[in-house]
Structure 1
Amino acid sequence: MSAGAPLAGLTVVSIEQAISGPLATRHLAELGARVIKVESAGGDSTRSYDENVHGMSSHFVWLNRGKESVSLNLKDDADREVFTALLDRADVFVTNMAPGALGRLGFAPEHLRDTRPRLIVVDISGFGAGGPISHRRAYDLLAQAEGGVCSLTGAPGFPVKPGVPTIDIGTALYTFASISTALYARERTGEGAYVPLAMFDVAAEMTGFALNQVIHTGIQPDPVPMGTPMLAPYGAYPTSDGQTVVLGATSDREWRKFAGEMMGDEAFQNDPRFADNADRIANRAELDAHIAAWSSQRTLAEIQATADRVQLGNARLNNVIELSRHPQLSERGRWQKATVDGVEVPALKPVFAGGDWSVASPDRVPRLGEDTDRIRAEVGDATVRP
């Protein structure tokens, strides 16, 4: 926590698992908030995924820098008192527990503001309240599948879940934005807020372009393995030196740059099969085959130099090992250090670092219950428990 950071002085209490809650609260910590993560004896489920980072899991280290961990049993009266005291002192409470879990313990999120009018509560669920599947637990894969996302990814007949947990991350960012908005509103009104968020709704929102297509045309978009069903050309192409270049044209103007200026192929540019985006989508196979034949005769460097010269977007298809060594990260100072059980490890700086804000650099990743005794003492229960 940094005294000069935008959220310095705010306290966030969370009962969170996996990604959507923890990523949102990590960003709050990076902006200076104190984040107290309440865990059961078993801890956040991501703690047990692997032991890749000096005994901690890759996921947990990614999501939980800069937090305090307190281990409480909310069925125990003394621990319930500690948790109640934490809520009484909190500005924000975030939870993404299973539907009804906190309610059965007497801490229903929708009622926490009854005696805490300034508290901001964000209650993350899989499918929201009131529908036929509201009772179900949800994970990123389940929300993507139920929300139609996987049908837009992969290839026709072979739906694929993206490797990045897009719905978990999207839900985390909506949580972060909702809390920021609620804090701003509280400054004007003095009132907190109860904000329910559903992963399913995030998935539906993210498929908005495809929803519009099916609502107004009745046509289900076919997935494109490396691209989008809504644009062409927009994909990955082989090069003569064994690399893969990624290119796209997002307008007819860019198409003319792509075919006429970058490729130098006016006949291709003016081919009536590719006159506009709809034509290019309809004839995607022929379009991509022609581009691949051109790109396979040139090196990656040659293609990228030409694309840069005509101001056409381009990229190299990298894997994660290559990302970890990418000069665009190292030369811009995007790495910092985190501390895992006393050992320094590399970690990315916050995405919003580098401007006028004083952004905190919380580096410690907490062990399970590492701060329990100190927090008990802080709220008036100094009993040390094994």
Structure 2
Amino acid sequence: MSGVTDGRAGRRSPLAGIRVLDYGQYVAAPFGTMLLADLGADVVKVEPPTGDQWRHYEPFAPGESRYFYALNRNKRSVALDLKTSEGRAKSRELIRTADALVQNCLPERAKRFELDRETVREINPRCVWVSISAFGSEGPDAQRPAYDLIAQALSGLLMADTRPDDTVPRRMGGLAVADFTCGLLAAIAVLAGLAARDDEQSHGIEVSLLGAALALQAQRFVSVEAMDRPMRAERLEEGPPFATPEDLTSLADRIARLDELEPYYRTYRCADGFLALACLNTRHRLEVCAVLGLDDPWAADPQAAPADEGERLRRLAHARGAEDAFAGRPVAEWVEALGARGIPASEVRLLDLLYEDGQVEANGLVQTVTQPAVGDVRLLGNVFKVDGEAAPAARGAPGLGEHAPELLKAEATEAAS
């Protein structure tokens, strides 16, 4: 088994001898497993025959992409077609040798590819299983696909970076912050699972893009119920927060416009709010065109630079056509129409409207703790689900020096023994 040394003579990398199977694509899973590889784990990237989709994103040569390079160093790769019995048989052989497995399949696909928790446990009871999902394994959105932008929209994170002009929400600095944060959580989950396993069994741990996006806002996602609940209830009664342009300009924070030529991975103003649309493959982009009734010759490669000014103007006209179409109907209608075709899309939400959100509550991503000074406080829940459950907080934040007597007494007892 191969692992990465830390480059210093005589030093063994922290995770040397640990094998991690990376069945993930795009950003979150590859980033998390790359961190483990950097710590010395033998990370085996298990890809479909056509490769991780990120190999083909803005390539400078066939299958060669800076994006893929950035997230997959220190790994080895095998290509398996998990749609075939032969591919799944070879996958099972790999799983028998693994200490941990990371995957980001939708639940139904995970079962079909034999990457679900129960199947992996049957193959190798000691293999730590980590699943990355969009919204968590419970709740009404558990089966929905999504990318980073959708998690930012649904979590309220998209409204955290705003600008003083009347435009639509955009990603924070254009960065996939939910993806990368979720990758960090996945790496932590692997380490926790390795630390806790014994000779006979291991843990299954779940993390999600929604949980990661909320975790980034933990300092803001806190409601002192006695003070904040009445204001939140009043805001909910007022209806959609962005029904008119004036609603947005009344906020202290503003946001800037995305690239005017990119109609498929951005946010749109609708009749009563904002919609986030995230299409990273040609099929989804063509489906969007069908829903909007538009024809786009550039749907296969929307990032390509215009050949000339005439093409730029034609593409700009297409983007403006998409803007006009989305502006004519309410957000909910677009979410339903796009969702019926499997297109990742969502409304853009405010963070402080998520305390009573069904998806957030279903996955334990908001919880109540008691603080002696103020009473009940609602805040970010445990973003890790271990064997199907997220452990609740045992206590709120401690007071200054609150546990010194018991801790110092324990240390003194240990020192005397």
TM bin, normalised by shorter chain, reads 0.5 to 0.7
Report 1:1-386 matches (<5 A): 1-3=3-5, 4-52=12-60, 56-155=64-163, 158-162=168-172, 163-186=174-197, 191-212=201-222, 216-217=227-228, 218=231, 222-223=252-253
Structure 1 counterpart of 2:187, which letter? F
Residues 131-190 of structure 1 deviation map (CA, whole Å, 9 limit, x = unaligned): 111111110000000111011212365422112211001100011111111111126x76
CA contact (8 A) 1:120 1:182 kept: yes
Cα distance change, pair 178–78 in 1 and its aligned pair in 2 (3 A): same
SS in 1 for 2:197: helix
CA distance in 1, matches of 2:160, 2:178: 14
Residues 75-114 of structure 1 deviation map (CA, whole Å, 9 limit, x = unaligned): 3222222110000110000001233212123332344113
Residues 302-331 of structure 1 deviation map (CA, whole Å, 9 limit, x = unaligned): xxxxxxxxxxxxxxxxxxxxxxxxxxxxxx
SS in 2 for 1:197: strand
* Number of equivalenced pairs: 225
Residues 195-228 of structure 1 deviation map (CA, whole Å, 9 limit, x = unaligned): 01111111122222332258643368843669xx
SS in 1 for 2:171: coil
CA contact (8 A) 1:155 1:223 kept: yes
SS in 1 for 2:4: coil
Where relative contact order (Cα < 8 A, 6+ residues apart) is larger, the structure is 1
CA contact (8 A) 1:99 1:136 kept: no
Cα distance change, pair 14–55 in 1 and its aligned pair in 2 (3 A): closer
**Greater Cα offset, 6-15 or 69-78:** 69-78
CA contact (8 A) 2:44 2:76 kept: yes
CA distance in 2, matches of 1:214, 1:47: 46
CA contact (8 A) 1:74 1:80 kept: yes
* Alignment-derived partner of residue 240 in structure 2: none
Q: Which runs of 4+ in 1 moved over 4 A?
A: 213-216, 219-222
CA contact (8 A) 2:169 2:255 kept: no
Shift of residue 56, structure 1, vs aligned partner? 1.4
CA contact (8 A) 2:88 2:113 kept: no
* Alignment-derived partner of residue 334 in structure 1: none
CA contact (8 A) 1:147 1:200 kept: yes
Structure 2: unaligned runs, 5 residues or longer = 6-11, 236-250, 257-417
CA distance in 2, matches of 1:35, 1:132: 33
SS in 1 for 2:25: coil
Cα distance change, pair 115–71 in 1 and its aligned pair in 2 (3 A): closer
Shift of residue 128, structure 1, vs aligned partner? 0.8
CA contact (8 A) 1:110 1:194 kept: no
Cα distance change, pair 180–105 in 1 and its aligned pair in 2 (3 A): closer
Structure 1: unaligned runs, 5 residues or longer = 227-386
CA distance in 1, matches of 2:99, 2:127: 5
Select the structure of larger CA radius of gyration.
1
Shift of residue 55, structure 1, vs aligned partner? 6.2
CA contact (8 A) 1:118 1:192 kept: yes
CA contact (8 A) 1:7 1:33 kept: yes
Cα distance change, pair 48–55 in 1 and its aligned pair in 2 (3 A): closer
CA contact (8 A) 1:12 1:34 kept: yes
CA contact (8 A) 1:17 1:97 kept: no
* Alignment-derived partner of residue 350 in structure 2: none
Q: What is the RMSD of the two structures over their aligned residues, measured on CA atoms?
A: 2.5
CA contact (8 A) 2:88 2:114 kept: no
CA distance in 2, matches of 1:41, 1:117: 28
